Amino acid sequence: MANTTASSQTEASTTARSTVPGEFAFIPPMPRSIEETGLSLAFLADLSLKILYNAGYLTGGQLAERLRLPYTGVTEVVLEFLKREQLVEVLGAKGVGEQAYQYALTARGRDRAREALDRSQYAGPAPVPLSAYAVAMRRQSHKGTRVTPRLMRQALGHLVLNDRVFHKIGPAINSGTSIFLYGPPGNGKTSIAEAIGHRVFQGGIYIPYAVEVGGFVIKVFDEVNHEPLPNQRPGQTGVLKTPVDARWIAIRRPFIVSGGELTLEMLDLAWNEVSRYYEAPLQMKANGGVFLIDDFGRQQVRPRDLLNRWIVPLEKGVDYLTLHTGQKFEIPFETLILFSTNLNPRDLVDEAFLRRIRHKIEIPDPTPAEFREIFRRECQARGIPYDDQALVYLLQEWYIKRRRPLRAVHARDLLSHIQDIASYFNVPPALSKELIDRACEAYFVEMSGASPAAPSPKPPGAS
């Protein structure tokens, strides 16, 4: 059996690593001219005016930092244009060199800035063009990750899974398509998905702060869902041969989770009428990583409607988004979709949908031997002395007699109850019959018609 529980045990110290050569499969080169940014001079001029309007005044070097663009060859050209158009003026210098010149808006510049802000209040890092984003996502696809049994044991070693289940997960990951995890609640479907997202997909990728499409800005980088890498230098030495385009940020491969709150609107561009720019949909933020749809079937959207939304992305590897102007455009769909549900799949979706999901993996209840290993690990993690006889008592009195199915999560939850009860009575947590009975009475709900619960025991240690 692969020593792999679906409850929260102490994590293994090793993790699987992507087999993509190098730390990054794509490194965005720094643009050396306006043309190489992929943006028009007019767009960059408006963005600079908005930044200066909000800041009051900035040096040329500070404006370049706000734009995430180099001063030489790019920002200096924008400032020269703004000066020629009498939209900015030089207030003085805060050092030596042109980058130290301080710039402020003229009266005409403030009018132009307000006009630009009326169109869009986005005043962050300069976006990258859609074409550059598409190339980057293709090159950094999650499909470049390949796992082996050894790497899988490193990634899922903190779980307890039988060999049959364990050896289904690896090929499913290598397929790079979609995975459907199903089975009774509490057996670790979400834990498996989290291990895939956090431990298997370990490489870093570059994503842009924002993308420009048809003159509109789509904000991609999400401080909540994206984890920046502490060192954005690829390779072992951390030294780049060429400077990186600062409009891109290095992050860990995304792992985005959406549960019962998921709606169809969350899978489309979110237009803000106040800020007048877009927020990228969840699947776009998950590009290059994993998108987990947890508790599938309990969303506010019907499973059939969600199916219809995913048909093209799952089959073609592309998604289509629409601006509020009606303009449609294509983006790469380079994310591993994980569906997780404790409902019967055939009650949720039809055969056509199940056919499009290549890998369907049932996560069953643990066997008694697997439950014992889960329980033992949980005891070890919590510093509670493990006792085989106590586990036999638990299984006999609270599972076999009551015909209750084993669930992997029960070990974690029952031991948490034992710790809480022991703390209340100021006694050491232990696998005593008294503490086990109290924990089970607090945790399990005895349904009508079930065997009567054992009489309430006396406080631990009472005679």
Successive 10-residue mean pLDDT values, the chain, 463 residues: 41 35 80 97 98 96 97 97 97 85 97 97 97 96 86 92 92 89 94 92 92 97 93 45 88 92 92 94 96 87 81 88 95 93 81 79 96 97 96 97 96 97 96 97 73 48 48
What's residue 238's pLDDT? 43
Q: Is the pTM of this model over 0.75?
A: yes
Helix, strand, coil share of the chain (percent; to 5): 40, 15, 40
Token duo for residue 105? 């808006």
Boundaries of every domain in the chain: 40-125, 133-229+243-362, 368-443
Q: What is the CATH number of domain 40-125?
A: 1.10.10.10
Instruction: Give the end-to-end CA distance of the chain in Å, rounded to a whole number.
Output: 43
Residue of 190, 129, 160, 169 whose CA lies nearest to 339: 190
Q: If you write DSSP's letter for every residue of 436-456 in order, what string do you get?
A: HHHHHHHH----TTSPPPPPP
Dihedral sign (CA 337, 342, 343, 344):
positive
Distance between CA atoms of residues 346 and 196, nearest Å: 25
Query: With contact defined as beta carbons under 8 Å apart, do 411 and 186 qualify?
Result: no
Q: In terms of Cα–Cα distance, which of 359, 362, 357 is closest to 343? A: 362
Which whole-number Å values give the CA distances from 139 to 20, 194, 287, 305, 371, in the listed order? 10, 24, 11, 31, 42
Which pLDDT score is estimated for 8? 37
The number of beta carbons lying within 10 Å of the beta carbon of residue 307 is 18
Q: Which amino acid is at 259?
A: G
Both tokens assigned to 170:
């690896």
Q: Cβ distance 219 to 122 under 8 Å?
A: yes
Please identify, in words, the CATH class of the domain defined by 368-443. mainly alpha
* Nearest Cα to Cα of residue 160 among 299, 327, 13, 7: 7
CA–CA gap between residue 420 and residue 445 (Å, rounded): 18
User: How many Cα neighbours within 13 Å face the side chain of 49?
Assistant: 30
CATH topology of domain 133-229+243-362: Rossmann fold (3.40.50)
